Structure 1
Amino acid sequence: MRNRTPAVAGMFYPKEKSQLEQLIEDCTFHKFGAGKFTTHKKVYGAVCPHAGYVYSGPVATHSFSAISGQDFELAVILGPNHWGIGCSIATMKDAVWETPLGGVEVDSDAADEINGYSKIIEIDYFSHTKDHSIEVQVPMLQEFYKKPFKILPIILNDQDYEYSLEVGSAIAKLARKRKIMIVGSSDFTHYEQNDFAHKQDMALIEPILQMDVEGFYHTLQERRVTACGYGAIASTMVACKKMGAEKGELLKYATSGDVSGDKSSVVGYASIIFT
């Protein structure tokens, strides 16, 4: 069993347990945070941002608050591969993801199973070693979801439409035998003026709420929206729809500029759940 050690602890979030727990609490009760929000609806999956907690954490708490009341044993976390290393699409097995809050085991049986459903989802530890997109979701899950769970990380170099359909379908097959929760990790518009980012992102969020994958890719390309984890979002939509979700719900949207006050060059963040 290998330990996947944190790549961005001390940068994207604190590396000390007590400081991390305090920051997540601060994010929860921030003016853009979820507060004591919970939902009794069936939630199949969520879209969550993955920037530094001081910027995207308050928005992220909305999805994790919604997830906290659900019943699952496996969190399938999808994210873009910012480093471009390793395989086109990769999961991993025989590993524990370490965070300042403790270790979370990777579900090796689920990794083998999903690789059997789709050979484009390769098993490769190296692909996961540097990136933050999946890593930053794990402490949030640990803090909000108090039942035992394992994770299945899936990191995406190739995020094209056809691959998203296949990855999403494979996850839905996995859900036939397991209680799962899907987390699609993505930020939205990058490094644009605040008002423009809001317009771009709201246009892209519309087909997500309708669970319209074709429309999502059309808007993404037509408007050139710089959402980094578009394949993670699309795969999450595909899987959730096949599992029975009927719609997406936007819980919170804000930009780094809304949070920090510097609105000249911002990144967009959204918490969306599929119900």
Structure 2
Amino acid sequence: MAEKYVRPAIYAGNFYSLNSSELEHQLNDFFSQTKGIEKECRIIVSPHAGYVYSGRTAAYAVSSLKPAKSYIILGPNHTGLGETFAIMPSGGVWDTPLGRVETNKKLAEKLLSSCGLLKEDHEAHMREHSIEVQLPFLQFLNKEFTFVPISIMSECTKEFAARCEELGKTIAKIMKEEDLSLIISSDFSHYLSEKEAEEKDNKAIERIEDLDLYGFFETLQETDASICGYGPIGVAIVVAKELGLHAEIIHRSNSGQVTKDFNKIVSYIAIGFE
């Protein structure tokens, strides 16, 4: 029998601690601040910066997520490598300092056969951080789960929005049939003043709350937005609409709260769809 492919924890020691004890301590601190959240969201948007910057907001997002046997995680492709809609080849595992997480081979194959946009591809995932950094949060709360990673190389066009709609409808159909939750990995505005970032983010959030896919893409163009995971968010809007879910802001923060430089921040927003 061939050995399973192992995707190493590329960003351990950079975005988050390589030491499992230190990582667990940090996660425990984040999650201790989320006590009292009583939500079971089928979909969340969670940030993916270094944990010192966005970890608290990510913990709020994951604390709001409905526990499931398996998760689909959509992340933006920051590297420009690989396929536009890249699903990690099935039958492998991802390493983190907290242990290994199995990919869901059966679910990956079902997604591939149901949506022609998806292509099996290693390359898009090899140097990408946006999906990797979500895993320790899930592991801290839920030791037994599998997942399917999908990397999306986004384009802010109406044609691309239509592709997001196609993938969203496919995922929604499967989520109606199986015990799944969906995680969208995205930061919001990049390298703006706190005031400008909040203004731009709020306009995008209005469209997200309206579950208006094409309005969301139009707003991105009108505001020259710098939301890195807008493709995955577009997919989430469609899934939420198909499942009859409602969007709610769970937590907001920005890098300036750590660096004390509020003239050039990255914003982090936890959104739940319940």
TM-score, normalised via structure 2 length: 0.93
Unaligned runs of 5+ in 1: none
Deviation of 1:35 after TM superposition, in Å, equals 2.7
Q: Distance in 2 between matches of 1:84 and 1:7?
A: 17
> 1:37, 1:62 within 8 Å by CA — same for their partners in 2?
no
Is residue 2:260 matched to residue 1:261? yes
- How many residues align structurally? 266
- 1:182 counterpart SS class: strand
Deviation of 1:71 after TM superposition, in Å, equals 3.9
Deviation of 1:119 after TM superposition, in Å, equals 1.3
Deviation of 1:244 after TM superposition, in Å, equals 2.7
Question: Hey, which bits of structure 1, 4+ residues long, moved more than 6 A?
Answer: none
TM-score, normalised via structure 1 length: 0.93
Unaligned runs of 5+ in 2: none
Deviation of 1:259 after TM superposition, in Å, equals 3.3
Q: Distance in 2 between matches of 1:76 and 1:85?
A: 21
Deviation of 1:50 after TM superposition, in Å, equals 0.4
Q: Distance in 1 between matches of 2:115 and 2:267?
A: 32
Instruction: Write the mapping of 1:152-167 to structure 2, written as runs, cut at 5 A.
Output: 152-159=148-155, 160-167=160-167
Residue 134 (structure 2) aligns with:
137
Is residue 2:214 matched to residue 1:222? no
Alpha-carbon RMSD across the aligned residues, in angstroms, is 1.4
Q: Distance in 2 between matches of 1:255 and 1:45?
A: 22
Deviation of 1:42 after TM superposition, in Å, equals 4.0
Instruction: Write the mapping of 1:196-207 to structure 2, written as runs, cut at 5 A.
Output: 196-207=196-207
Q: Distance in 1 between matches of 2:198 and 2:259?
A: 15
Residue 247 (structure 2) aligns with:
248
Residue by residue over 1:39-83, the C-alpha shift from the partner in whole angstroms, topping out at 9 and shown as x without a partner, is 1x441100000000000011111111111xx34111100011100
- 1:175 counterpart SS class: helix
Residue by residue over 1:134-181, the C-alpha shift from the partner in whole angstroms, topping out at 9 and shown as x without a partner, is 0100111111234x2110101001342112111111111221331111
Instruction: Write the mapping of 1:114-125 to structure 2, written as runs, cut at 5 A.
Output: 114-125=111-122
> 1:191, 1:266 within 8 Å by CA — same for their partners in 2?
yes
Q: Distance in 2 between matches of 1:192 and 1:74?
A: 36
Which amino acid counterpart does residue 35 of structure 1 have in structure 2?
T
- Taking only the aligned residue pairs, the percentage that are identical comes to 36
- 1:43 counterpart SS class: coil
Is residue 2:94 matched to residue 1:91? no
> 1:73, 1:178 within 8 Å by CA — same for their partners in 2?
no
Residue by residue over 1:80-130, the C-alpha shift from the partner in whole angstroms, topping out at 9 and shown as x without a partner, is 110011111111211101100111110111111111111111111222111
